[in-house]
């Protein structure tokens, strides 16, 4: 098996909602386990928090996430972005539109100086995304 790099997002308590949203955006199969499922909930009120969630799409994208128990520190606002790129403009514009729903555009999806269509946004869960669509000019 080759080495893979998979983005892994951390949330305080809304990983299930976020991952359902990302499944809506990208499609694919979503698998999730709670701290309660694994008998790992130190606090019974956190039994329904997501211990691990993985979204795998038909075209090989993998996105993982979990909630952070209240007993653990969480660095809110850590700096990261997820970049999606390729030459399938229809697919990438579809992701852009869905991710932007309830989010905020940082940079419009438009022709960049290097020739690609490029834009940036932050989705409703605070995840930053960069979308780059290759064009014949690039």
pLDDT one-digit tens code per residue, 100-119: 999 999 999 999 988 899 99
What digits encode the pLDDT tens for the residues 19-64?
999 999 999 999 999 999 988 888 999 999 999 999 999 999 999 9
Weakest-pLDDT range from 2-6, 68-72, 106-110, 113-117: 2-6
The share of the chain scoring above pLDDT 90, in percent, equals 75
pLDDT tens readout for residues 56-65: 999 999 999 9
Spatial separation of the C-alpha atoms in residues 10 and 56, rounded to whole Å: 17
Residue 54's pLDDT is: 95
pTM: 0.85
The pLDDT assigned to 3 comes to: 62
Domain architecture of the chain: domains with CATH: 8-67 (3.10.180.10), 81-133 (3.10.180.10)
Question: Are the beta carbons of 70 and 116 closer than 8 angstroms?
Answer: no
């Amino acid at each position: 098996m080759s080495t893979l790099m998979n983005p892994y997002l951390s949330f305080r308590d809304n990983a299930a909602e976020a991952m359902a949203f990302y499944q809506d955006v990208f499609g694919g199969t979503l698998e999730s386990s709670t701290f309660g499922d694994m008998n790992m909930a130190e606090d019974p009120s956190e039994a329904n928090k997501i211990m691990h969630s993985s979204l795998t799409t038909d075209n090989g994208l993998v996105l993982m996430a979990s909630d952070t128990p209240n007993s653990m520190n969480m660095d809110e606002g850590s700096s990261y972005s997820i970049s999606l790129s390729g030459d399938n403009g229809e697919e990438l514009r579809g992701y852009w539109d869905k991710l932007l729903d309830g989010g905020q555009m940082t940079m419009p999806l438009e022709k960049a100086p290097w020739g690609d269509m490029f834009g940036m946004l932050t989705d409703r869960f605070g995840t930053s995304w960069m979308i780059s669509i290759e064009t014949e000019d690039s």
